[in-house]
Amino acid sequence: MYVVTLLSAPGARSLQPALPEALRNAWGGGDVLWLAPDEAAEFALSHVPDNRWDVWEDLQKQEVDMVVQPTEGRRKKMLLADMDSTMIQQECIDELADEAGIGDQVKEITARAMNGEMDFEEALRARVGLLKGLPVTTIAKVLSERITLMPGGQVLLATMKAQGAHAALVSGGFTDFTSAVAEKLGFDENRANTLLNDDATLTGEVGMPILGQQAKVDALHDITRRLGIGEADVIAVGDGANDLGMLGRAGTGVALHAKPAVAAQCDVRINHGDLTALLFLQGYAVSDFVTG
């Protein structure tokens, strides 16, 4: 059995009641269950429709996301999340670069890397090299003044952890940022790269080994093995090319507001909903959300 989940952005009221009813009638699905009024609904289906992606494209024009996935095992025991442009709304290295006055130069490299047009390690070295001489105090300044959480992240973490799930933050970014974001959101652990400094300024170098796409796959393998669960028990979320490995291996790999080249390689794409979409995909209703 499969389940079709329809989602829109919170507050957008894009998901009109007639839409899921019409779709389940066309596909011969079960009764529509509303997970959140005007925002999220689902219905059961015995097979994956042949016109799935044609319908998906039509719904995108209506600002509605649609995911078709197996019903069995969709409630996950672990969250594995990227940080930049996923759990937070920014790319940390781009924000540091703005403070250094070289924002456009660094953002161009970041965009190429996230689209898969440039090797991640090469791109990271190039960007960090441009930050040489930046005062270490800039990191705290960026954290306090420029970094904002992605909507829905706190509810996602609180709800999954209340059900006993483990949460890991894995990033091609930097530990100075992942440690702060992980603590704020309630992640159980975090992994990232290390910006080297001489106590006063950044040296323009990154600690070895560099954590890229393979490191995220390794984190998925290592953490699930340690917890005694399978990779199928994981929901992973990311937006860039270096996330594709873990998104492909996890039981549910979510491309969240991802670059087009990345989204094209993922079956689960969220372009309009926020991070609470990951809860709806697991069958949580808004009444199940932990908000405190």
Model confidence pLDDT, tens digit, residues 206-262: 999 888 889 999 999 999 999 999 999 999 999 998 999 999 999 999 999 998 889
CATH of the domain spanning 1-72, picked from 3.20.20.70, 3.30.70.330, 3.30.380.10, 3.30.300.30: 3.30.70.330
Domain boundaries, the chain: 1-72, 74-90+149-292
Q: Other CB atoms closer than 10 Å to residue 26's CB: what's the count?
A: 11
Pair type for strands 40-45 and 33-36: antiparallel
In this structure, which amino acid lies at residue 169? L
- From the number of C-beta atoms within 10 Å of its C-beta (0-12, 13-18, 19+), residue 37 rates as exposed
Rounded CA separation 104/12 (Å): 32
Q: Give me the pLDDT at residue 114, please.
A: 79
What is the DSSP-derived secondary structure letter of residue 259?
-
Given the residues 65, 84, 239, 243, select the one marked as catalytic. Answer: 84
First to last CA, the chain: 34
Percent of the chain predicted with pLDDT > 70: 100
Active site residue 31: no
**Residue 194 backbone zone (phi > 0: left; psi -120 to 50: alpha; other: beta):** beta
Of the candidate ranges 108-117, 121-130, 146-155, the one whose mean pLDDT is the lowest: 108-117
| 22: its two tokens | 């019409």
* 82 carries an active-site annotation: yes
pLDDT at 12 over 90: no
What letter represents residue 228's amino acid? G
Superfamily assignment of 74-90+149-292 in CATH? Answer: HAD superfamily/HAD-like (3.40.50.1000)
Mean pLDDT of the chain, nearest integer: 95
Q: How many CB atoms lie within 10 A of CB 129?
A: 13
What are 120-150's pLDDT values in tens digits?
889 999 999 999 999 999 999 999 999 999 9
Q: Is residue 77 within 8 Å of residue 164, measured between CB atoms?
A: yes
Mapping DSSP to helix (H, G, I), strand (E, B) and coil, where does residue 190 land?
strand
- Among 63, 94, 40, 127, residue whose Cα is nearest residue 271: 63
What tokens were used for 106?
């660094």
Residue 80 has pLDDT above 80, yes or no: yes
Distances (CA, A) of 100 to 128, 137, 291: 12, 12, 37
- Residue 276 contacts residue 156 (beta carbons within 8 Å): yes
Inter-residue contact 258 to 85 (CB < 8 Å): no
Residue 165 tokens read as 């799930």
Report strand pairing: 2-7 vs 40-45: antiparallel
Rounded CA gap, 268 and 247, in Å? 9
Burial class (CB in 10 A: 0-12, 13-18, 19+), 115: middle
Reported as a pLDDT band with limits 50, 70 and 90, residue 11 is: confident
- The letter for the amino acid at 203 is T
The amino acid occupying position 292 is: G
Q: Which residues pair with 184 in a beta bridge?
A: none
- Say what the pTM is: 0.95
Catalytic annotation, pick one of 38, 58, 82, 94: 82
For the cut 80, the answer to whether the pLDDT of residue 292 exceeds it is no
Mean pLDDT, rounded, for 66-87: 97
Q: What is the DSSP letter of 270?
A: E
pLDDT of residue 246: 97
Four-residue CA torsion sign, 175, 177, 183, 189:
negative
Q: Which residue has the tokens 């984190």?
A: 219
| Nearest CA-CA partner of 88 in 10, 162, 179, 5 | 179
